[in-house]
Amino acid sequence: MKIMITGAGGQLGQDCQRVFGATDQVSAFGHQELDITRQAVISETVGNIRPDLIINCAAHTGVDACETETALARELNVSGPRFLAESAACWGSLLVHISTDYVFDGQKPITEGYAEADEPRPLSVYGKTKLAGERAISEVTENYIILRTAWLYGIQGHNFLKKMLKLNHTNPSREFKVVNDQFGSPTWSFRLAQQIKNLVEKDARGLYHATAEGVCTWYDLADYFLEKMNVPHRLVPCTSEEFPTAAVRPKNSILENRRLEEAGINIMAPWQDDVAQYTAQFAEQLLQSVAA
Ligand X SMILES: NC(=O)c1ccc[n+]([C@@H]2O[C@H](COP(=O)([O-])OP(=O)(O)OC[C@H]3O[C@@H](n4cnc5c(N)ncnc54)[C@H](OP(=O)(O)O)[C@@H]3O)[C@@H](O)[C@H]2O)c1
Would you name the residues annotated as active-site residues?
A: 126
SS3 270: strand
In this structure, the chain runs to a length of 292
Of 76 and 178, nearer to ligand X (C-beta) is: 76
CA neighbor of 218 nearest in space, from 169, 253, 183, 269: 183
SS3 32: coil
Q: What is the sign, positive or negative, of the torsion defined by CA atoms of 177, 180, 181, 184?
A: positive
CA neighbor of 259 nearest in space, from 49, 135, 114: 114
Of 93 and 253, nearer to ligand X (C-beta) is: 253
Residues making contact with ligand X (CB under 6 A)? 6-7, 9-13, 31, 34-37, 57-59, 61, 76, 98, 100, 130, 149-152, 157, 189
Closest distance of CB 287 from ligand X, Å: 20
Of 34 and 95, nearer to ligand X (C-beta) is: 34
Please give the backbone phi and psi of residue 29, each rounded to the nearest 5 degrees, phi first: -120, 120
Closest distance of CB 203 from ligand X, Å: 23
CB half-sphere exposure, 36, CA atoms < 13 A: 34
C-alpha–C-alpha distance, residues 24 and 286, integer Å: 29
Closest distance of CB 13 from ligand X, Å: 6
Closest distance of CB 163 from ligand X, Å: 12
Of 35 and 69, nearer to ligand X (C-beta) is: 35
Contact between 105 and 133 (Cβ < 8 Å): no
